Amino acid sequence: MSTWYERLENIDPRWIYLLVYIVIAIPIIIPLPSPLAITPYTRDAFEAVEKLPPGSLVVLSFDYSGANPELHPQAIAVLRHVVRRPLYIYIVGMWSDGPVMADQIWKVIDKTGYDPEDPTKLITKEYGKHIVNLGYLATTALIVGVYDTITKMMTIDFYGNSIDSLPLVKKFDGIKYASLVISFAAGSPGPATYLQYWATQNPNMKFVVGSPGVSAPGFMPYYEAGKLGEIGYVGVIISMRGAAEYETLLGEIGLTGAVAALNAQSAVHYLLVVVVILGNLGYYLRKYGGGGR
């Protein structure tokens, strides 16, 4: 009959699989705040939205399709943030799937926010009046042209509505009126395109980028430039970790699933460390403490 430390050394893998399932399921079923530290890149991105004066125009550019696990949670958190604040919103995309991603979020997100015309009043944000999905910016000419005028460059929005019929477009007929542009960028074309064609025309326009982890180092020189008031980014949201940080700052835990995913990941790592320690403890007890000599 095997001793207890021999059984400890030879834990049935099925018990380990069960424990892994449990420690993953609990943080997902019961969303809890994460103890993770907030990086300055994410905090600066959050503050860029938070400090905008009421009535400001924000442009969200959905420039991804295949990097959903990293960028979609970011987009959910940021879109909810700008909807919550007394701001106006344009949605665009330099990737054809981008406006579709935005549409998916808009259909399910809480649309309650403060009125841009009366920041003390909570309202339900209306499509066409407070937010417009302009759709896919398919060419460089279109990207350049909508900076000055939308009505002369586009005839319909993403949903097929006449551009001339949208109150928000009548109010802001051009991206040049935007105070902040946020690009969720999986690759090229991406935010560098906006720096080239928009930032050079309006030095007061601020830029934030949402980035996959692998691309983040390439954005850091632009982030440092932006902090100095030069053309660049005033904030960078990095991968799912950045989404979790943004969700935490927003105070809506469970909104994107990023915090739950990181908590589940951390719990599995802790479990594996414990299992490895127990397995090694059983080995050493058998070898040196149980007659193994």
pLDDT, tens digit, 9 for 90 and up, residues 247-289 = 999 988 778 777 666 666 777 777 778 878 877 877 777 777 6
| Residue 76 CA: distances (Å) to CA of 26, 60, 71, 148, 271 | 23, 11, 9, 28, 30
Do residues 285 and 143 both lie within one domain? no
Query: Which tokens is 42 given?
Result: 């994410």
Structural domain total, the chain: 2
Q: 136 lies in a domain?
A: yes
| Residue 29 CA: distances (Å) to CA of 22, 25, 32, 153 | 10, 6, 9, 47
Do residues 245 and 105 both lie within one domain? yes
In the chain, which ranges are continuous DSSP H helix? 4-9, 13-29, 40-50, 68-84, 98-108, 140-148, 167-171, 191-194, 216-227, 239-250, 258-284
The pLDDT, as a whole number, for residue 23 is: 75
Q: 35 lies in a domain?
A: no
Q: What is the tens place of the pLDDT at every residue in 9-53?
A: 677 778 777 887 787 777 667 777 767 789 999 999 999 999 999
Position 251, amino acid:
G
Q: 188 lies in a domain?
A: yes
Q: What is the tens place of the pLDDT at every residue in 80-126?
A: 999 999 999 999 999 999 999 999 999 999 999 999 999 999 999 99
Cα–Cα dist 125/18, whole Å: 45
- Using the 8-state DSSP alphabet, how is residue 16 labeled? H
Do residues 60 and 190 both lie within one domain? yes
Do residues 220 and 191 both lie within one domain? yes
Average pLDDT over residues 143-164: 96
The pLDDT, as a whole number, for residue 259 is: 67
Do residues 128 and 220 both lie within one domain? yes
Do residues 98 and 232 both lie within one domain? yes
CATH number at residue 54: 3.40.50.720
Cα–Cα dist 269/126, whole Å: 44
Do residues 227 and 275 both lie within one domain? no
The pLDDT, as a whole number, for residue 24 is: 73
Q: What are phi and psi of 124, to 5 degrees?
A: -95, 120
Which has more pLDDT, 230 or 234? 234
Domain that holds residue 269: 4-30+263-289
The pLDDT, as a whole number, for residue 171 is: 97
Q: What is the tens place of the pLDDT at every residue in 157-166?
A: 999 999 999 9
Q: What are phi and psi of 183, to 5 degrees?
A: -115, 125
Helix axes 68-84, 239-250, angle to 10 degrees: 20
Do residues 193 and 271 both lie within one domain? no
